[in-house]
Amino acid sequence: MRQPLVAGNWKMHGSRAENASLVSGLLDLLQPGKRAEILLCPPFPYLMETGRLLKDSGVALGAQSVCAESQGAFTGEVSAAMLKDVGCRYVLVGHSERRQLFGERDALVARKFVAAQGQSLVPVLCVGETLEEREGGQTTSVVSRQLEAVLAVTGVQALARAVIAYEPVWAIGTGRTASPEQAQEVHAMIRAKVAERDATIGGSVRILYGGSVKASNAQELFAMPDIDGGLVGGASLKADEFARICAGAG
Ligand code: PGA
């Protein structure tokens, strides 16, 4: 059985005061004894303090990106060892905003994935097609290419210690969610690609859906057989909304 995971990606939002009230509101609202694992990914400067606010709550801490290099003259970058040192367990790699706005290509995403695992961080590998690609019938080829670029470097075994997030770019921050059936179709394809290489890992790897997840659509998305939770942007900035999404994951 795959344990559901609901991750909040705060992106470049928040302040010390806002984060404190968001986290305390969320911790008040999260229902104890639920099966789903919860993860918060604040911006770098707030990682340590958010980690302190989450102490003993069972909610995990993650970062939104990581440098592929381990240390050295890389101004402005943050290493996997640093993320580990401040209490992160997870890190997003290959988020579409990194790919589209900051020029991260498949090869770099693969190196970041490796750097994260080198410090025992769990990478959340984000994949997904643009609207143009979907309309051009390229969803499967784009998502497969993004996945294969990592698998070619790491081998399938690495996915035993990773999470995949399918985030159609056209659904991110647009209010336009993939239908549960549209998402399920891609999730099943991803799982089949992994299972072709290793059936056990194909069955156990968690695949999250991301793109305009909200309380009103989370439950029907999470009910699909190959959707194991969500990667939530905008709706993770509101404690009550995010808590309801978490509750929807079981
Ligand atoms: P959204 O973002 O929920 O605001 O669409 C999801 C993401 O980019 O991870």
Ligand 1 centroid – CA 175 distance (Å) = 9
Ligand 1 centroid – CA 233 distance (Å) = 4
SS3 state of residue 62: strand
What are 99-126's pLDDT values in tens digits? 999 999 999 999 999 999 999 999 999 9
Task: Give the model's pLDDT for residue 39.
Answer: 98
State the average pLDDT over residues 227-238. Answer: 98
Ligand 1 centroid – CA 53 distance (Å) = 23
Atom 9 of ligand 1, residue of closest alpha carbon: 233
Would the CB of 232 count as within 6 Å of ligand 1? yes
Is 11 buried (19+), middle (13-18) or exposed (0-12) by CB count in 10 A? middle
Please identify which residue in the block is written with the tokens 């969320």.
26
What are 188-205's pLDDT values in tens digits? 999 999 999 999 999 999
Short-list 52, 25, 57, 15, CA closest to 39: 57
Would the CB of 233 count as within 6 Å of ligand 1? yes
What are 136-188's pLDDT values in tens digits? 999 999 999 999 999 999 999 999 999 999 999 999 989 888 999 999 999 99
Would the CB of 45 count as within 6 Å of ligand 1? no
pLDDT at residue 250 tops 90: no
Cα distance between residue 180 and residue 82, in whole Å: 37
What are 10-69's pLDDT values in tens digits? 999 999 999 999 999 999 999 888 899 999 999 999 999 999 999 999 999 999 999 999
